[in-house]
Amino acid sequence: MKIKLYNANLIEKIFIKKTFKTANGFLSQPDNLEIAVSFISPDEIRSLNYEFRKVDDVTDVLSFPLIDAVAGEPVSLENNAVDVNERTGRLSLGDIVICRDRAVKQATEYGHSYKREVCFLALHGYLHLVGYDHINEADAHVMEKTQTEILAQTGLTREVK
């Protein structure tokens, strides 16, 4: 999996890559995928949140899937062949944007590390890109359980570390 990280510091890059690698294996996703993750300002994420969701508020993470994926199923490169980059052979799942300021605030509010919060937000975005959602209670339960299991495999619990 290729992960493009923009405006991320070294620690964020290391732990997001580790989290995505764990998630990809846990979900049996193919290796020739790519995702872009950007850290943006509160003003930028508020603007995107309004533009795409009609919610005029700063949020923590937004996902922009480029393909239609089904939760719990490996992404099909064959079904998305027109979207595979001919040069790299990789399929782009989409983009994730994270508001660092919001992540710092939430880590403090929830009583865990910033590292855990950023990895949670990145993973949350990743799960949206591979078809998970939390619109109804049943789907939310599945997504939350999946997030918890993947974070546990990376050693990132809600405990302060």
Question: What digits encode the pLDDT tens for the residues 60-81?
Answer: 999 999 999 999 999 988 888 8
pLDDT value, residue 77: 85
Pairing of strands 91-99, 2-6: unpaired
Q: Give domain limits for the chain.
A: 2-154
* Three-class secondary structure of residue 7 per DSSP: coil
* Three-class secondary structure of residue 123 per DSSP: helix
Q: pTM for this one? A: 0.93
Kindly report the three-state secondary structure assignment for every residue of 25-74. HHCCCCCCEEEEEEEECHHHHHHHHHHHHCCCCCCCEEEEECCCCCCCCC
Q: Is the pLDDT of residue 17 over 70?
A: yes
Give the 3-state secondary structure percentages of the chain, helix then strand then coil, rounded to 5.
50, 15, 35
Q: Is the pLDDT of residue 98 over 50?
A: yes
Question: For 43-68, what is the mean pLDDT?
Answer: 97
Q: Do residues 137 and 89 make contact, with C-beta atoms less than 8 angstroms apart?
A: no
Write the class of the CATH domain 2-154.
alpha beta
Residue 86: band (very low, low, confident or very high) from pLDDT cuts 50, 70, 90? confident
